[in-house]
Amino acid sequence: MLLDPLQARRLFQHALQHRYAILAANADSPAAVGDCLAAARQCDAAVIIETSLWQLEGASFGRGDPILGLSRYLAEVALLAASEAFRRVPVIFHTDHIKGPALQTILAAAIKGVPMPLSRGQGALAASTISVDASELSAEENIATLAGLAEMAKAHGVEATFEMEDAVDDDYTSLETARQLVGSVEARQPGMIWLWAPALGTQHGLTPGARAFDPELAYRHVEAMRNLTGRNIGLALHGTSGLAESDLTAAVAAGTVKVNWSSELLHLRAQAAAAYFRDRVARVEPGKGDWKKTVMDNGLQSSVTQACLPSIVNRMQVLGGAGQGSAFCEMAQTADGN
């Protein structure tokens, strides 16, 4: 089931209370989205499907138009999450690396909802959670952008749940910076931030960093958020591709509830695709045995799924999420009185 912004908050609180983290997979094709949901179903975990600007504009979704890409991506996730196969899998749709001139337009559409033309009438779909990519923003711009989006959501009468981030590839985020960023938004728009993503020594892009992950600093950030806002706010950990399992478990123990995973997943899928064609190079020409079956997209994607699914499942298990999907669903149904 695709969670709305308020249900997403409950899931983060459930993860923090029960000390597990939700895998946030940057899935850049419909096949990758399906594989992540299949992995979550296999180990009974929740999952976050997140998208970045290059995916919204890419050939799989927007073909150059990020709003069209957002619509197609949301429709893909919503249909799968509502299907019989995945209706018991808690699914969050999250906007990740959205930056540049189109940032405000894309995130406003994700919050208000993008129209979905139907055979009769029209519907709309919105993101579960929102983040602002802070990598190219000053502290003041970061604060103003997120606070402005929160104000816009209230003006339109829609709920929104935000992740706030520091420039996560930069030096370790100090507690003073955390208080400045989150505290400033909290003062203007209280109760809108439910995830905090400080720089904790990790690095995007499978790039060996000069710094080590600091779990003690992570714990202090969770504590600082509680003292600052009066509520429990879990951490979002960026740049985890290549991070040791011991670091991941330490991050969860410290209060991390969302673990972003992109570069390693992209690499796994690319390796699997390359192996598929390398092993079948003699069967891609017409007249070569089952060549048509070989060149159909289903053959390639089925092979990639088979190769990648165990790694996705393992990641969810390392984060402690196995078995928590149905536990959250039961809790949510009780809370909703169903």
Domain containing 104: what range? 5-336
What is the dihedral angle through the alpha carbons of 100, 143, 104, 31, rounded to the nearest 10 degrees? 70
Residue-wise over 293-329: b if at least 16 C-beta within 10 A, else e? ebeeeebbbebbbebbeeebbebbbbbbbbebbeebb
Count of domains observed in the chain: 1
3-state class (DSSP) for residue 287: coil
What is the Cα–Cα distance from 213 to 291, expressed in whole angstroms? 48
Within 10 angstroms of residue 230's Cβ, the number of other Cβ atoms is 10
Q: What are phi and psi of 163, to 5 degrees?
A: -105, 125
DSSP state, 283? G
Residue whose token pair is 């992995």: 39
Per-residue pLDDT tens digits of the chain, which is 338 residues long: 999 999 999 999 999 999 999 999 999 999 999 999 999 999 999 999 999 999 999 999 999 999 999 999 999 999 999 999 999 999 999 999 999 999 999 999 999 999 998 888 888 999 999 999 998 999 999 999 999 999 999 999 999 999 999 988 878 999 999 999 999 999 999 999 999 999 998 877 766 655 688 999 999 999 999 999 999 999 999 988 888 999 999 999 999 999 999 999 999 999 999 999 998 888 888 877 788 888 889 999 999 999 999 999 999 999 999 999 999 999 887 777 65
Distance CA 144, CA 161 (A): 16
Determine contact, residues 75/121, Cβ cutoff 8 Å.
Answer: no
User: Residues for the chain: how many in total?
Assistant: 338
Q: Is 186 helix (H, G, I), strand (E, B) or coil?
A: helix
Stated pTM of the model? 0.95
The domain that holds 315 is classified in CATH as: 3.20.20.70
- Element holding 171 (H helix, E strand): none
Give the CA dihedral 76, 80, 82, 85, nearest 10 degrees: 180
Could you tell me the two tokens for 181?
Answer: 């960023």
